[in-house]
Amino acid sequence: MNRVLPSWNDGPARTAIIEFVEAVTAEDGSNYVKPDDRLAVFDNDGTLWSERPAYFQLLFAMDRVKAMAGDHPEWATTQPFQAVLEDDLEALSAGGKHALAEIVAATHAGMITAEFEDMVLEWMTSARHPKTGRLYTQMIYQPMLELLRYLRRHDFKTYIVSGGGVEFMRAWAEDVYGIPPQQVIGTSVETQYELRGGEPVLVRLAEINHVDDGPGKPVGINRYIGRRPILAFGNSDGDHEMLQWTGSGNGPSFCGLVHHTDVEREWAYDHGSTIGGLDKAWDEALEKGWTIVDMKEDWQRIYPSDD
Amino acid sequence: MNRVLPSWNDGPARTAIIEFVEAVTAEDGSNYVKPDDRLAVFDNDGTLWSERPAYFQLLFAMDRVKAMAGDHPEWATTQPFQAVLEDDLEALSAGGKHALAEIVAATHAGMITAEFEDMVLEWMTSARHPKTGRLYTQMIYQPMLELLRYLRRHDFKTYIVSGGGVEFMRAWAEDVYGIPPQQVIGTSVETQYELRGGEPVLVRLAEINHVDDGPGKPVGINRYIGRRPILAFGNSDGDHEMLQWTGSGNGPSFCGLVHHTDVEREWAYDHGSTIGGLDKAWDEALEKGWTIVDMKEDWQRIYPSDD
């Protein structure tokens, strides 16, 4: 018989996941949850794929900023654009996901949604990560991919709830994670409906509709799903409120944190990090007994192509 | 053998629906659409249930305005509140769905989402329609209920895309229409995440996040679903852009309009009506061959409890 979650080492994290799924799916058990309520939400950056040396969407957006800088002389002295033009990832990272959202809004305004999708897909199938030389879609975590599939086999609906741009993720999330567009929640810009030559289009505006980070995550979950998840996975303080919200329902719940502990196979960071900082959520995880996944100890493989 | 869509009379509307569904589900046909892409969107007010003498959510909100008016002396001279206090449905209707959204935002601000849901459910199970004396959930259209089920049996995902408040509809849409919360898109207010006595809550604010009407419908479809529907049903100019958007995809599509023609069993209105006005969408329906459902001719029954 095949072992479930094959890339997970035996240990408390793997055991906790399996025990939870068995408990909520046992029809005669006291913790049974009917399939309609089996909602699982996952952060993306640092939880389903890597986020170093910067959020991957930021690396994508930097290419656009550089291409457009000639028309925007003011960017040379305005953050976060100045940091992009100076390749100053540290200054950029200090701006957090808000800076990312601002750059995306500014560089992709006026573009129609279909063009944006094409541009993302082209980048995802050609750009290479500066350290590993891999396509970014090859830097997803194999153990989390197995977890997504394992949950779906047990009639969970799997959602992404990420600070990343929703249309950036939707372009490839179904192929890469098996998560369809309507189950991807993220930061979004305002769009405007227009007829161009009789054909309706949606134009992306330079105005943000929703910042799906921190307290914006439970807000986004309520807005898009309208129901509380029973399982949530994150890796940073940006996921703190989503984990709190998930852990405060009436029935059983599972809250998990991916802890970046593997400096050799991936990266190691947590407290005080500008990307993926993990402080308040770490303290609450210890206090409430949330499951902490130690990447170095718990994961046999990191990326799908690892041995 | 049971006849499908039993409450629909034989006629061009019923035939067009069945032919479309057979075409997109025939695996060997040139119009085959794979199940993941079988998305159907339905307006609610006037398409799935009645909307006279006013949008039902407005009747709900009016009760709240009256209860809170003592604390808001300014409402006596400020629209749309003045119209509520004077029971002036005509003035209220002239304000359209924007007035409705304003009233909902003002009267339900500060309330947490769970309290709001309880309040809606209490009203839906007790309040009676001024003309029919029925519960509002008994004033849904039986033929449309059959259409929703027929589509789901053919692996369509059915969505509501309505100018009504999303949390108002989500409270009962699953029980009444079989449409789960995550497939209900509507007008929404901003919410704020707070800890109250250590418990996380979402507080409804007096600020609108999304007006899901007119051009806001394709915007909402793109924001929440991220994929273009292949079937859309509406009844008024508020659905015009949603129908245009649905009808402009690359593959086969079906656009339908419910035409209120039955003054005896329901109401009769279309051009120039303040509620459910049907002008631009009517012209485009004729031009593009969208399916027009004549309630009087096409529907054997209107409400589930009709003979």
ipTM of the complex as predicted:
0.92
Phi then psi dihedrals of residue B43, to 5 deg: -60, 155
Buried b (16+ CB within 10 A) or exposed e, B92-128: bbebbbebbbbbbbbbbeebbbeebbebbeebbeeee
**Who wins on pLDDT, A237 or A61?**
A237
Domains of chain A: total: 1
Residue A97 amino acid letter:
K
Residue A182 lies in a domain: yes
Nearest residue of chain A to residue B117 (CA atoms): A226
Residue A3 lies in a domain: no
In this prediction, residue A257 carries a pLDDT of 98
Contact by Cβ (8 Å): B163, B184: no
Residue B148 lies in a domain: yes
Contact by Cβ (8 Å): A142, A301: yes
Number of DSSP helices (H) and strands (E) in chain A, helices first:
12, 8
Residue A274: give the domain boundaries.
12-298
CA distance readout (Å), B272 to B236, B237, B269, B287, B288: 10, 10, 8, 19, 21
Q: Which residues of B touch A (CB under 8 A)?
A: 36, 113, 166-167, 170, 180-182, 184, 188, 190-193, 195, 199-200, 202, 209-210, 215-216, 218-219, 222-227, 241, 244-245, 248
User: Residues of B with CB below 8 A from A226's CB?
Assistant: 166-167, 170, 181-182, 184
* Closest residue to A200, CB basis, from B181, B226, B244: B244
Before B304, cis peptide (omega within 30)? Answer: no
Q: Give the residue among B91, B82, B106 at the shortest CA–CA distance from B53.
A: B91
Contact by Cβ (8 Å): A280, A296: no
Report pLDDT digits (tens) over B62-93: 888 988 899 999 999 999 999 999 988 888 87
User: Residues of B with CB below 8 A from A219's CB?
Assistant: 190-193, 202
Q: Is residue A188 scored above 80 in pLDDT? A: yes
Cβ neighbors of A86 (< 8 A, separation 6 or more) are none
| Helix (H) or strand (E) segment spanning residue B190 | strand B184-196
Buried b (16+ CB within 10 A) or exposed e, B49-66: bbbbbbbbbbbbbbebbe
Give the 3-state DSSP-derived string for B16-72, with helices as H, strands as E and coil as C.
HHHHHHHHHHCCCCCCCCCHHHCEEEECCECCCECCCCCCHHHHHHHHHHHHHHHHC
Residue B229 lies in a domain: yes
In this prediction, residue A17 carries a pLDDT of 98
How, if at all, do strands B254-261 and B268-269 pair? antiparallel
CA distance readout (Å), A110 to A97, A193, B219, B221, B249: 21, 12, 15, 19, 21
User: Residues of B with CB below 8 A from A218's CB?
Assistant: 193, 200, 202
The Cα of B206 is separated from the nearest Cα of chain A by a number of Å equal to 15
Residue B157 lies in a domain: yes
In this prediction, residue A1 carries a pLDDT of 58
Check which CATH number belongs to the domain holding A111 and give it: 3.40.50.1000
Query: What would the two tokens of residue B184 be?
Result: 């209900």
Q: Which residues of A touch B (CB under 8 A)?
A: 36, 113, 166-167, 170, 180-182, 184, 188, 190-193, 195, 199-200, 202, 209-210, 215-216, 218-219, 222-227, 241, 244-245, 248
Residue A61 amino acid letter:
A
Residue A305 lies in a domain: no
* Closest residue to A188, CB basis, from B180, B223, B244: B223
Contact between chains at A227 and B191 (C-beta distance less than 8 A): no
Q: Is residue A103 scored above 90 in pLDDT? A: no
In this prediction, residue B206 carries a pLDDT of 84
% of chain A with per-residue pLDDT over 90: 83
In this prediction, residue B141 carries a pLDDT of 98
* Closest residue to A193, CB basis, from B36, B191, B218: B218
Residue B104 amino acid letter:
V
Residue A5 lies in a domain: no
Gap between the Cα atoms of A291 and A62, Å rounded: 35
Contact between chains at A219 and B167 (C-beta distance less than 8 A): no
Q: Is residue A207 scored above 80 in pLDDT? A: yes
Q: Is residue B1 scored above 70 in pLDDT? A: no
The Cα of A191 is separated from the nearest Cα of chain B by a number of Å equal to 6
Beta bridge partners of A256: A233, A291
Q: What's the gap between Cα A81 and its chain centre?
A: 23
Buried b (16+ CB within 10 A) or exposed e, A219-235: bbbbbbbbbbbbbbbbb
Report pLDDT digits (tens) over A256-279: 999 999 999 999 999 999 889 999
Gap between the Cα atoms of A254 and A238, Å rounded: 18
Mutation target to probe the B interface, by most B beta carbons within 10 A, among A117, A169, A223, A241 is A223
Q: Is residue B50 scored above 80 in pLDDT? A: yes
End-to-end CA distance of chain A: 21
Phi then psi dihedrals of residue A46, to 5 deg: 85, -5
Contact between chains at A218 and B113 (C-beta distance less than 8 A): no
In this prediction, residue A48 carries a pLDDT of 98
Average pLDDT, chain B: 94
User: Residues of B with CB below 8 A from A241's CB?
Assistant: 193, 200
Q: Is residue B42 scored above 80 in pLDDT? A: yes
Contact by Cβ (8 Å): A40, A160: no
Contact between chains at A224 and B188 (C-beta distance less than 8 A): no
Report pLDDT digits (tens) over B98-153: 787 788 777 877 899 999 999 999 999 999 999 999 999 999 999 999 999 999 99
Residue B192 lies in a domain: yes
Nearest residue of chain A to residue B37 (CA atoms): A180
Nearest residue of chain A to residue B221 (CA atoms): A182
Q: Is residue B40 scored above 80 in pLDDT? A: yes
The Cα of A49 is separated from the nearest Cα of chain B by a number of Å equal to 22
% of chain B with per-residue pLDDT over 90: 84
Query: Which SS3 state, helix, strand or coil, does residue B5 take?
Result: coil
Query: At A108, is the pLDDT very low, low, confident or very high (cuts 50, 70, 90)?
Result: confident
The Cα of B191 is separated from the nearest Cα of chain A by a number of Å equal to 6
The pTM of this model reads 0.93
Gap between the Cα atoms of B227 and B33, Å rounded: 13
